[in-house]
Structure 1
Amino acid sequence: MPRLLVINPNTSQRVSHSIDALVREEAGKRAEVTTITANFGFRYISSRAAVAIAAHAVLDAAARAIADGADPDAIILGCFGDPGLDALVEMTGIPVIGFAEAGLLAAASEHGNFIVATKGVVWCEMLTELIQKLGLSHRVAGVYSVEQAGDDADGIAEYLSARARETGASRIVLGGAGLIPTLPRVIALSSVPVLDPHRAGVRKAMTLAAEGRHFPSDGSRGETTGLSAALTEAFSGPTEVPLQVGNAH
């Protein structure tokens, strides 16, 4: 049975519980799920500084889990922004799936353009950069923050449906770990189809975990100073990993 390691890059246990429940519901009995929370950083990631710290925190969390005996077939980054994704692949040689990347690629695999939404203007800026990196700018009709729509599902659904109609978008990608409890009602109320990137990420993780892919280290080993014992060990360990059979994401 595939083993999934789910890492919440912020320090909120409440958010970790929401992520864990969603992953377990989507995976069902087809995977073993272990969810862990960052030991340091921000309770809610809403700035570039917080993202930078979160990237360190996810590396540390993964190293600690593996040092404690975890042997995941895939890692899920429980944040709609994927802090530290590439670095985590480099450090572990394990497939790493981010909610944002998985959701964007899933939306792009369907016909028509789409809009992307989350909570926070800075997140919108960073998601726009990720969209450009993935080469999807021509498919995304807009990136919006739902802050002005309030916290209730009705308001969010109405606001995003209006933005989708204005731009001619075929669907909406609405992400953010803090929005997970609200998403089912937003999906039910929206007049435009809403794609849940968190569930898309779990499905992608299940696929990659079942394939048993591993990837070579890319020079992340070396002498370190001031890191946790687990991270120090991770960066000083052997570089041999199974033969590369594909691309991590």
Structure 2
Amino acid sequence: MTIHTILFTIVFNYLSLLLRCAVKINIINPNTSANMTRQIKQAAQQWAQTTTDIRCVSPDAGTPSVETCQDEAIAAIGVMEQIRAGDHAGADAHIVACFGDPGLDAARELASVPVLGIAQAAFQTAQMLASRFAVITTVPKATTFTRHLLRKYGADAQCAGVWAVNMPVLALEEDTEHTFQTLRTQALICIDKEDVDAVVLGCAGMTDLADRLAQDLGIPVIDGVSVAVGMAEMLVQRRLRTSTRGIYAPVAPKPYSGWSAPLAG
């Protein structure tokens, strides 16, 4: 066997291993903001394994931000459409990249692979890293949604509270330095007054500020997008999937009509 043959064999086996290990993650930004979709993709790629293929998408129609009950209902339809498209594209896992986790349960019922919500991923990470954490979100109305999710996911006992910085989602990207200083000020108040050990950022639009805040504050600052990517990679590598018993059992086929027809099982 020549040296060229040996080298070819080594390279071929290595590339084959990479292909077998590659993880395809379909990240869904439930709003229609192209800038936020790009930001989410950049954050995901920063922390993903080099062999992970990140596909970041958003609905063709819907709301530019998700901040109300009506927004969440509309966004959930877009999530379902992109779950179906991601499954067809061969995704190994899906991530719903909105802190309200809109449509998460329905997505798990629909998808053939694991589906993660960034709020649930962030809360579970905070529970592992701190005895007491704070959630900093955008507008006051979002605090109610967040408290509901904390109770649903069993994380409310360790959460000191949810604070809004009174900045709409789309305003977060208008002046990054102002956004950073606003989040920093609120985080310092939580550390001083509430004695928290970690901070969870309650919006995907804050993802690019997590590392800088952590370095400045000296405590874990958790961004749901990056931790969800790591969790998704682990679930795929361990070949773990959503249970097909109980609430996430596959739905019996039924005829859907009109715009909902493509979502039929």
Regarding TM over 0.5, the answer is: yes
- CA change 1:221–1:213 in 2 (3 A) is farther
Query: Contact between 1:7 and 1:76, CA under 8 Å: does it hold in 2?
Result: yes
- Whichever residue aligns with residue 230 of structure 1, its letter is P
1:36-185 correspondence runs (5 A): 36-66=57-87, 69-147=88-166, 151-185=178-212
For residue 103 of structure 1, give the secondary structure of its aligned residue in structure 2.
Answer: helix
TM-superposed deviation, 1:62: 1.7
Distance in 1 between residues matched to 2:252 and 2:124, nearest whole Å: 27
TM-superposed deviation, 1:31: 0.9
TM-superposed deviation, 1:114: 0.7
Query: Contact between 1:90 and 1:220, CA under 8 Å: does it hold in 2?
Result: no
Distance in 2 between residues matched to 1:83 and 1:76, nearest whole Å: 11
Distance in 1 between residues matched to 2:253 and 2:35, nearest whole Å: 34
Distance in 1 between residues matched to 2:230 and 2:115, nearest whole Å: 12
Structure 2: runs of 5+ lacking an equivalent? 1-21, 173-177
1:194 to 205, 216, 221: 221
For residue 259 of structure 2, give the secondary structure of its aligned residue in structure 1.
Answer: coil
TM-superposed deviation, 1:58: 0.4
TM-score by structure 1 length? 0.85
Distance in 2 between residues matched to 1:48 and 1:39, nearest whole Å: 20
1:7 to 16, 28, 31: 28
Query: Contact between 2:59 and 2:79, CA under 8 Å: does it hold in 1?
Result: yes
Query: Contact between 2:26 and 2:54, CA under 8 Å: does it hold in 1?
Result: yes
Query: Contact between 2:136 and 2:186, CA under 8 Å: does it hold in 1?
Result: no
- Whichever residue aligns with residue 135 of structure 1, its letter is G
TM-superposed deviation, 1:225: 1.2
Distance in 2 between residues matched to 1:73 and 1:23, nearest whole Å: 15
Distance in 2 between residues matched to 1:193 and 1:165, nearest whole Å: 15
Distance in 1 between residues matched to 2:28 and 2:115, nearest whole Å: 10
Match of 1:240 in 2: none
TM-superposed deviation, 1:61: 1.6
Match of 1:205 in 2: 232
TM-score by structure 2 length? 0.81
- Deviation digits for residues 200-247 of structure 1, max 9, x if unmatched? 111111111212233423326321111355323xx2xxxxxxxxxxxx
For residue 81 of structure 1, give the secondary structure of its aligned residue in structure 2.
Answer: coil
Distance in 2 between residues matched to 1:230 and 1:209, nearest whole Å: 26
Once superposed, what is the RMSD of the aligned Cα atoms? 2.0
For residue 54 of structure 1, give the secondary structure of its aligned residue in structure 2.
Answer: helix
- Deviation digits for residues 50-97 of structure 1, max 9, x if unmatched? 01111111001221343xx41111101111121111111101132111
